[in-house]
Amino acid sequence: MHIGSKGWYVEKLKENGVRRIEGRKIEKYKTHVLANLLEEKQG
């Protein structure tokens, strides 16, 4: 898995305990949405 890929963001978010956003699985969201969410969680 490459750093910055959608799968990488999904893995990192799951490590932080995020599995759903507004009732939808995080796998359904586009990469840029996941990147922004991860940045919020880490920042």
Residue 24: strand, helix, or coil: strand
Please give the single-letter amino acid code of residue 30.
K
Pairwise CA distance, residues 17 & 21, whole Å: 11
Q: What share of the chain is helix, strand, coil (3-state, %, to 5)?
A: 60, 10, 35
Supply the pLDDT for residue 26. Answer: 97
pLDDT digits (tens, 9 = 90+) for 2-43: 999 999 999 999 999 999 999 999 999 999 999 999 999 888
Q: Which residues, in sequence order, are bridge partners of residue 20?
A: 25
Q: Which residues pair with 43 in a beta bridge?
A: none
pTM assigned to the model: 0.88
**Residue-level pLDDT at 1:** 83
Q: In the prediction, which pLDDT does 42 show?
A: 87
